[in-house]
Structures are given as C-alpha cells and as structure tokens.
C-alpha cells in the first residue's frame, strides 16, 4: 500500500501509471496528470475552442469578434458564454486589454510611431476609440503617457491617488 492509496483507489493509480508510461515527452506526462487531477477535482473540461480563440486574440493581427466567432464556428452569444465561464470577462473586454498592453509596449519601445499609427497597429479604426480605451485602462491619455516616458517617469509604478495630488506636485516643483 502506497501513500497514494489513501487519496486515490488502486485502480486509478494503475490507470494513471500506465498512461504516464505511454507518454514519451514531459509535456505529454503533464497533460495526462493535469487531465487526471481536473477529473478528480470535478473541474469542468475546457472547450477546445477557447485556446484557439485566445491565440487568435493574442496574435499580431487584430480580429473582430464576429470574425472570431465565425472562425470558431460558434455564435457570438456562445463565444460570450465561453469567455464568461472560463476567462471571467467578455471577449470584447479581453481584446481591449490585449490592445492596451500592445499599445503601451509600442509607445514605450518605439517613439517614432504616431498615435494614429499605434491605434491602427493595435486594430482600432480611429484614434478616438484608441484614446478612450487607453484612458480606461491606463488612467491617462496616450499623450500623457508619452510625456511621462520622456520625463523618465515609471508609468507602471506611478499612482495618482487624487487628482489634486498632481497639481500639488506641480506647485511644489514651481516653488523649488
């Protein structure tokens, strides 16, 4: 009797052992173990469309939600339910987060790009939507972001707790 016999029945241990011996790669063994543990914990099986959807949304090419649902052979509502269940947010919101991160990286790494170029590169149809989403996730406009960058500020670690705080910082700088 092994220590595993306390947690799992002997038949499960024999079954998983034989499946692990059949695997030739470490990745395969991890997949077998992951499926076994998820099954035992009662975790819901992930729809195979989800990893593909995430891959498409994370790819370099921007894809519309309609095109995404068509490529997955699923309705827009079905895609919405799939994301809500496994990701915890809508595919539209997830795509906005991806776009914001991509835009922030482009602005950080390449100062030659105009805001219009960045917005189109990130899949926006106009600069107004880009600026709106950037403000929503970053708390500041892309031009303010670029100003912080040129002044050497660390945007990701900079917090403005109150709007008047920024004014008081500027006033202190003037008084010095």
One-character DSSP codes across 59-121: SSS---HHHHHHHTT--HHHHHHHHHHHTSS-HHHHHHHHHHHHHHHHHHH-TTS-HHHHHHH
Q: 21 lies in a domain?
A: yes
Share of the chain above pLDDT 70, in %: 78
The answer to whether residues 34 and 113 belong to one domain is: no
Q: 13 lies in a domain?
A: yes
Q: 173 lies in a domain?
A: yes
The answer to whether residues 173 and 98 belong to one domain is: yes
Domain that holds residue 32: 4-41
Number of domains in the chain: 2
Q: 27 lies in a domain?
A: yes
The answer to whether residues 33 and 104 belong to one domain is: no
The answer to whether residues 105 and 176 belong to one domain is: yes
The answer to whether residues 37 and 101 belong to one domain is: no
Q: 67 lies in a domain?
A: no
pLDDT digits (tens, 9 = 90+) for 59-107: 877 788 999 999 999 999 999 999 998 889 999 999 999 989 999 888 8
Which pLDDT value is given to residue 160?
A: 45
The one-character DSSP state at 153 is: -
Burial class (CB in 10 A: 0-12, 13-18, 19+), 160: exposed
The answer to whether residues 110 and 172 belong to one domain is: yes
* CATH number of the domain residue 158 falls in: 1.10.10.60
Q: Which residues of 98-122 are buried (b: 16+ CB within 10 A; e: fewer)?
A: bbbebbbebbeeeeeeebeebbbbb
Give long-range contacts, CB 8 A cutoff, 24+ apart: 55-61: 57/91, 57/94, 57/95, 57/98, 58/98
The answer to whether residues 97 and 166 belong to one domain is: yes
Q: 47 lies in a domain?
A: no
pLDDT band with cut points at 50, 70 and 90 for residue 155 = low
The structure's pTM equals: 0.61
The answer to whether residues 33 and 102 belong to one domain is: no
């Amino acid at each position: 009797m092994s220590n595993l016999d306390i947690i799992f029945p002997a038949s499960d241990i024999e079954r998983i052992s034989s499946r692990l011996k059949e695997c030739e790669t470490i990745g395969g063994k991890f997949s077998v173990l992951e499926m076994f543990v998820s099954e035992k914990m009662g975790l819901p099986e992930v729809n195979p469309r989800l990893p593909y959807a995430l891959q498409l949304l994370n790819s370099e090419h921007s894809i519309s939600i309609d095109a995404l649902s068509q490529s997955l052979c699923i309705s827009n509502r079905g895609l919405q339910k799939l994301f809500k269940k496994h990701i915890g947010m809508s595919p539209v919101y997830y795509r906005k987060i991806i776009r914001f991160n991509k835009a922030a990286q482009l602005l950080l790494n390449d100062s030659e790009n105009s805001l219009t170029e960045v917005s189109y590169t990130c899949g926006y149809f106009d600069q107004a939507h880009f600026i709106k989403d950037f403000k929503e996730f970053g708390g500041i406009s892309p031009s303010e972001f670029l100003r912080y960058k040129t002044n050497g500020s660390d945007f990701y670690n900079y917090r403005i707790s109150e709007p008047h705080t920024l004014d008081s910082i500027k006033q202190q700088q003037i008084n010095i």
